[in-house]
Each structure stands twice: as C-alpha cells, then as structure tokens.
Amino acid sequence: MIKKLKSFLNRFVKKLFKKKKTIKLGFYGPPNAGKTTLANKICQDWLGEDMGTVSKIPHETREIKVKEKIVIKSGDKELEFNLIDTPGIATKIDYEDFLRHKISKTQARKRAKEATKGVIESIRWLDNVDVVIVVLDSTENPYSQVNLTIIGNLAARDIPVLIVANKVDLRRSNIKKVESAFPQYKVIGISAQKGKNIEKFYKEVFELVKR
Amino acid sequence: MPYREHSSLTTDEKLKKILRVTKQQKILLMQGKLKPNEEARLIEETMSQITKEFAGISFCTIAPNNGNGKEKEKITTKLKNNLYNLTIGKRDFLTIIGPASIVREIRKNPTKIDLLLHQTKRKK
C-alpha cells in the first residue's frame, strides 16, 4: 500500500515537473509469441516499413530493436512513442532444439549463444521501458513461469501493462484461458499476422499510455 | 531446501545455491518462493551459465491455494494471508527448480502441476 502510494506520488511529481518525453513502449513475451510480427504490423501501418525479420525458428530476435518516433492515430487523438522489440524470454536454450529446424550445428550453436545474450538484454531493459505490451501466444498455456515472471516484474516496477493474446486466427487459440490466468490485466485478442482486431489494439494502447 | 536454509541468504547467495544444485542434475524443491526480481535474476544468471552441457532450467511456484495466487480473495482471507506472510515469510509456497536436461516441461494449470521429464535410455 505504502509502496503504491509512493510510486503514485513519484509519477505525479515527475509529471508535474518534467518535460514530456517520448514514451518507451516495450514488447515483452516468450519466444515465438509474435512480438516482432506485431511490431512489424505497427511499423507497416504507420511508417510503411518492417522492424525485424520473423521466423518459425524460436529466438529469431536476439537483440533489442528500437524504432523511434512512431506516431499512431485513433480518431482525433495522436500518440508518439519509441517502440522497443525485445528478444523472447526463456529459462532454457538448447542448441539441439534449433537443429530440428534444419540449420547447421555451427549455426545452431551461434544462435543459442546469441539467444542467451538476448534474454539477458531483455531482462535488463525492463528498467528502461515506460509501458509494456506483453505478447502471448493464445494457443499456448498461459500459466508458464516465464509469463508469470515477466508480469510479476512489471507489477513490481509499477509499469502499466496490456496483455495481447496473439494468434486468435488459429483454431487452438483460447483467450479465456489467458484472461483467467491474468484477471487483473486487460487482455486483448488479436492476430498480428492477419491484422485481426488491430484497430481495437491501437485504442487500447492509447488507454494504456494514459494510465 | 527448507525455508530457514535460504531465507537469510542474499539474492546472489540464493541463486548460486539454486544453480549449484540444478547443475548437479538434481531437482530442487524449495519451501517458499523467489521475489519477482530474484526470478528475473535467476533467468539472467542461468542464461549467462549456459553451455553445451547445461541448457538451462525449468521452474515453477505453487501457490498455497493451488492457483496462480492471483484469484480474487475475500478481504479477510487476504489480510490473514498478508499478516501470515509478513510474520513468518512466504513458507506455504513451494518452488520446483530442475535442470532442462531432466525436466522437459513444468506444465502449470490453475489446479495442478505436471512435471514432465525427459526419457532416459537405459542400458540393457
């Protein structure tokens, strides 16, 4: 309670006396949840270019990527932010898992090494973001420790969070399960690849930044 | 690992101990739970120690109400639990941590936990 009051006062004082800076919007989540696909969709919609490459092989994004000054519009409102796409957070990385995706042993080892560094970088960047979109694969079990750790750390830092249940176009998608796993957060179901519900997503981003 | 064995340790000491046990190919049952920042540090530390032999860990915390600890509780229950946690620590939680080479997956659902292990080839 005291902690919450303290952080509220801190934010209030900061808002009063500091110059308005560009919001840093971070994308967090486990590997292959669709963070970069969603980042690409936003960049395509508002900048006309991609942010990063996507792949079915996990840990395709292995370093932090920042796209500065993205301006999105919803109705007559406008919002400018820096978009931070982070590598997926995992508790284990086995180079042998990459071999199943038909890449060479050398490439798999290199990928694994880079992926471990990416995870560390993602965690360290938790202190540099203002608001966070947690991207989850709605076809997967949401009660994973990685998801709980990410959400727990964001809550401890008092960072506003929006949970995106991605891949709703797939038959196995289960948004209700995501909602019941994180009842205190707003959950929005989208398909970043197909663009489904993307307008609603932009509206929610405006709401998230207001908090 | 009973609560008294890790409650007085610093985060670094705690993580060192956890990783030492899991690197010995053992599954660790820890009474209590890690703080969110300790969980993040555990992932960071694990990642920095990954080698060909050590692929990482799987871990999971079981809340006393068998859920994710975030269900809506009655105010009286919440107060009682908070008081209990403040006085004697979060002892009624249980954390399972295992090496990825043994634990394939810890599947958590609100009411149960499945610990899936890798199959080992036995010599005849």
How many distinct structural domains can be found in chain A?
Answer: 1
Among the listed residues B89, B65, B36, B79, the one whose alpha carbon sits nearest the alpha carbon of residue A146: B36
Q: Is residue A49 part of a domain?
A: yes
Does any domain span residue A188? yes
Q: Which candidate, B72, B73, B115, B118, places its Cα nearest to that of B95?
A: B115
Q: Give the pLDDT confidence score for residue A76 in this predicted structure.
A: 84
pLDDT of residue A199 exceeding 70: yes
Confidence of residue B69 (pLDDT cuts 50, 70, 90): very low
pLDDT, tens digit, 9 for 90 and up, residues B13-25 = 999 999 999 999 9
CB contact under 8 A, A91 and B109: no
- Closest among A62, A6, A10 to A32, alpha carbons compared: A62
For residue B123, being part of any structural domain is answered with no
Residue A50 DSSP SS3: coil
Q: A202 — contact with chain B (CB < 8 Å)?
A: no
Judge whether A158 is closer than 8 Å to chain B, CB to CB.
no
Q: Is the pLDDT of residue B71 over 80?
A: no
Angle, helices B36-48/B11-23, rounded to nearest 10 degrees: 50
Evaluate whether residue A79 is within a structural domain. Answer: yes
Please determine, for residue B82, whether its predicted confidence score (pLDDT) is greater than 80.
no
- B54 pLDDT more than 70: yes
Chain A CB contacts of B48 under 8 Å are 116, 120
CATH of the domain at A120: 3.40.50.300
Spell out which residues of chain A touch residue B68, defining contact as CB-CB under 8 Å: 143, 148, 181
Q: What phi, psi does A185 have (nearest 5°)? A: -120, 155
What is the pLDDT averaged over residues A13-18? 58
CA-based nearest residue to B46, from B63, B34, B62? B34
Sort out which chain B residues have CB atoms less than 8 A from A156's CB and list them.
35-37
Mutation site, A91, A93, A174, interface B, largest B CB count within 10 A: A91
| CB neighbour list of residue A192: distance below 8 Å, 6 or more residues apart | A34, A37, A38, A40, A41, A135, A164, A166, A167, A198
pLDDT recorded at residue B84: 66
Residue B91's domain spans which residues? 3-117
C-beta of residue A63 within 8 angstroms of C-beta of residue A111: no
Q: Which domain holds residue A61?
A: 22-210
* B22 assigned to some structural domain: yes
pLDDT at A32: 94
Q: What's the domain count of chain B?
A: 1
User: Which whole number is the average pLDDT over A92-103?
Assistant: 90
With CB atoms and an 8 Å threshold, state whether A119 touches B43: yes
- Contact at 8 Å (CB) between B90 and B33? yes
Judge whether residue B90 has pLDDT over 60.
yes
DSSP-derived letter for residue A171 is T
Q: Give contacts of A147 with chain B, Cβ < 8 Å.
A: none
